[in-house]
A and B are shown apart, each in its own frame.
Chain A
C-alpha cells in the first residue's frame, strides 16, 4: 500500500516538474535541447503534438542512459560495453572511447548460450558466408529461394514435430505478415492482454475483429468464446468464419507461461484455432528444448500454427511458422513475406541449422542437451535465491525470464546505474511497455551463465536491493515444490 502511494507521488512530482520545465522552455528561460523544425517549414502543421512527447521529454530523458547501451563484443554471458557520458543530463551522449570490459550480461536473450564467436556454429556460418555472400537480393517467390532455405525448413519441421515449416527473415515481420494471410474480415481474433506488439499489429492489419481476454485467464477466454459463437458477429449476427486464439509461450514482460493444456482443451471444445508464438519459449523450455508444447507433454499437432523466432535461443535472426502441410503450402503462396520481402541471409540460415542440430543432438555431441539442462538449473536456482532474499518476482517457476518489481520511477534509473557501477548489465522497463506503476527490472538467464557468475550477480543484486529498498516481499518463501501448472501470475502480492 505504502509502495503504491509513494509510486503515485513519485509520478506526480515528476509530472509537476515536467510542466514547470515545459513552461520554462516555452518562455525561453531554459534552453530547449531537442531538435526543432526547419525554418522553412515552421508554418506547416506540427509533426508532433506537444503532449504526445510529454512523457518522452520529461520522464524518459532523465533515465535514458539505462537503454540503448552500445556493446562491442559478442553478447554472451559477459559483454564489453562502450562507455558513454552525458554532460547535459542525457540529451546528448558522448563516447569516451574507453570500453568497460566483462560486464555480466543479464539482458540479452541468449537462453542457450549460442551467441558465440567461436565454435562449430560460427565456423559453419563462416564457410557459408564465403560461399554464398551476405545478402539474397530477392524474394522467396522470385529468385530468393536457396537450397539452404529448403534444408532449413525440413529441419525445423523435424525439430518441432510438425509436418512442414516455413522460415522468414524477421521475427516481428513473421507475425505482422502472416496473421493477415490467415484471417480476414468476418473472423474473430481472441488475443491475450499482454501480447507482443507484433501480434497486435498483425491482428490489426488483418481486419478481423479483435477481442481481448485477461492475461492467462481461462474463464475470461471461455466466456469470450461462448459469447462469440452464440451471438455471432456484432450487428449482423452472422456466424463467425473462424476464431483464432493468439497466445505466447512465455510472455516477455511477465515471465509467465501460458496455460497450454487448458487452452488446447478450450480450443477443441469450441472448434477454434490456436496460434502459439514461441518467441521466448522455443529452446528454453522442455526437457529437450522443443518449447512449451514439450514442457507440458502435449502433442504438437494440437497447435494449429506454431510460430517462433530464431533470435533468442538459436543466436541468429528470423522467424518460422510450423504446422500442417496445407497450412504451410497456403502460406508459401499467400504470405506477404514470401511475395514482397527478402528471404533469410545464408550465413544466418547456417547458424540456425547448426545450432538446431546441436540442440537435437544430431551433431554427435551432448552439448545441446547440456545447455538445455543448465538453463533449467540456472532458472530454478536464480529464482529461488531471489525469492529468499525477499524481492517480488513475477512469472512461472520455470521461465528463464525473471522480472523483479521496482514500482517507483526513480528506482528504475537508480537500479540500472547502480548495477552498471558494479559491472552487471540489466534491463529495466517502465511505461509504456508495462503498466505505469509496475515498472520492473528483467533478468534473462542463459545457459552460458555459470554458477559463479550467478552468485556474483545475486550478491550485487542483494546489495543494490538493500541500498534502494527493493525487498518489498512480506513473505520469505522457502520454495521446495515444483509447481509447473499454477503460478502463472505473480508469486507475491504487496497487501
Chain B
C-alpha cells in the first residue's frame, strides 16, 4: 500500500497487529509530483481565508504555567500580559493559611476575546515551589501534572469514538521566574529547568528586573545564558526545532540577545507625558512596563502572544506530546508513577 518508511523489527507498531487488508486494485498508490503551470487565476489562495474563518469559529486554547518562588511577581506579570485578572494574586501567606507542604498546582481558566478571536486561556500556578526548607524534588509534582495532561490527551486520541475536538489541557508554555540576584542561577533553577525542558517549552524570565541597572542586567543575562548552555538546558525556542533559515535567524537573535527577558509587571496605571501607562511608582521615578528602555516586558509579550503563540502550541503537540506518546506506547521507558500504576493494573487483568 502506501510507500511509507520501513519500520525496524524492534518498533512493535500497532499497525503490525492489523490483519492483511482486502485485496487492492492494481494502481500506482504513491502519486508522483509534477509541476503544472497555471494559465490564469483559479482561486486556490482563497483557502487561506477559508481556513482563517474556520479557525476563528472554533476558537483557540492556550495553557500557560508560571513557576517560581513566591513574591517574584508571577501573577502580576500574567495579568499584565493578558490585560485582565486571569490570575489571582496571593498576598503572601496569612497566619490562617499554612504554607503548603508540597507544590500545589492551581489551574484557572478564562475566556477572553479580541478582534473576533476567542481564546480559552488557562493559567496554571504553582504555589509552594521553592518555598520549603528542603526543596528537593519539588519539580516532581509539576512534571507529574504536565505528563498527566499528555496522558489525558492521549486517552482521548486513542478512543474509538473520538470527540470532534479533543480538549487541550496540555501546558503550552512554562514561564520560569529567575530571582534578580545579579549573580547567577540557583541550584534549584538549574535542576528544575534541566528536568522540565525535556517535557515542556520553558521560557526563563528575570523577575522584578527594576532592581538592576542596565549594566547589571546585561551582565546577569549573559551569565544566565552561559550557565544554561553549560548545563545543556534547551529553553524555548529550541535550536533543533528551527524549521528553516528564516526561523533560525529570527530565533537566534532572540536566543542570543533578548532571552532571558528581564521583566517588570504591573496592573496600575499612571500618567506619563500625557499618556496613561502601566507602571510602578517609586520615589525615584515611574517604571513604565511597556517602555522598552525600562524593561523587556513588551518583548516578552510580543514573543509569547503576537508571534510565537501558535508555534508554542505546535512544538508542544508535534514534539513534546509525540515524545510522551512514543515512550508511553513503548512500554513505559521510565515514566512517573502514574504510568507504572496502569501497567500494574494491566498485569492483574491479564
Partners in one complex: no
Measured CB to CB, the residues of A under 8 A from B are: none
